[in-house]
Structure formats: structure tokens, C-alpha cells
Amino acid sequence: MKEIVRAWRHIPQRYSLIGSKCSHCGKVFFPKRVLCPECRSKGDLKDIALKGEGKIHSYSVINTPTDDFKLIAPYVVAIVELIEGAKITTQIVDCNSKDVEIGSEVELVFRKIKEEGDDGVISYGYKFKLKE
């Protein structure tokens, strides 16, 4: 039951990129924060809808994954710097890992994250793909 409650509570973060922008220093963060990690200002953070576009800042190709991800290996995990300035760790999908480069432009997509339980409940969330 705890997992169901947690899943429902995290739905806004799974299906949209909502970050925080500090009214004091102007920095943008994802996920949302209540305290600015840059200037330590508290309570001056406003929600901001992130556009879901950016560039690959760094990446790694995972060839030997955990059991949960064996079926999709090899796959790419990257740190993407969004156009608003926030950085996000995400999987890069729908491409050959050899096509991924630092500086490649990417865009938000929604994909299957995992399938849970005997009923096969599918959880979706954000990932990124190379821009065409």
C-alpha cells in the first residue's frame, strides 16, 4: 500500500517537468526545492514549468545493468542541461548509443519506466531523446 501512496504523490513530477526558480538569485532547479541550494534562500522559490529541451552535459553507456534493466542494455544515462539552466539525470532513448555526444540537443518524451505486480501496472515517466 505504501508504494501506491508514494506513486500517486509523485505523479506531478513523473508527468511534467516542474522545477523551482529562486526569486533571490534567479537559479532554476529540478526537482522542485523549498531551499535554494545556490544562495540558501528559503521561501523565495517559485514553481516553473520547464520546456523539456536542452543539451547533453555528460553521459555514460550502461552495458552491465542491474537485473531490472537487463532487457534494455546497453542504454544511455545522461546529465542534461535544460535551456532554463537546471540539470537533470535521465535516460536517453530511441537512439543508438554511438550517436550520443556531449552537446547533442535533446527533447522530453514520455516512456514506460517499469511494470509492477501481477496485474502488470505500467508506470510512465520522462526520458529524453535526441532532437531530429
Residue 3 confidence (pLDDT): 57
Task: Enter the C-alpha cell of residue 75.
Answer: 542504454
Q: Which is nearest to 49 in space by CA: 8, 108, 124, 123?
A: 108
Kindly report, residue by residue over 118-132, the tens digit of the pLDDT. Answer: 777 777 788 999 998
Q: Say how many CA atoms lie within 13 Å of 57 toward its Cβ.
A: 13
Q: State yes or no: pLDDT of 76 exceeds 90.
A: yes
Answering whether pTM is above 0.85, one says: no
Q: Which residues pair with 131 in a beta bridge?
A: none
Q: State yes or no: pLDDT of 104 exceeds 80.
A: yes
Domains and CATH numbers, the chain: 52-130 (2.40.50)
- Mean pLDDT to the nearest integer, 89-103: 96
**C-alpha to C-alpha distances, 38 to 13, 21, 79, 113, nearest whole angstrom:** 22, 11, 19, 31
- Mean pLDDT to the nearest integer, 68-85: 92
Max mean pLDDT range (31-45, 62-76, 89-103): 89-103
- Mean pLDDT to the nearest integer, 3-23: 70
Kindly report, residue by residue over 14-67, the tens digit of the pLDDT. Answer: 567 899 999 999 999 998 888 999 999 887 899 999 999 999 999 999 999 888
Q: Contact at 8 Å (CB) between 91 and 69?
A: no
Residue 6 confidence (pLDDT): 57
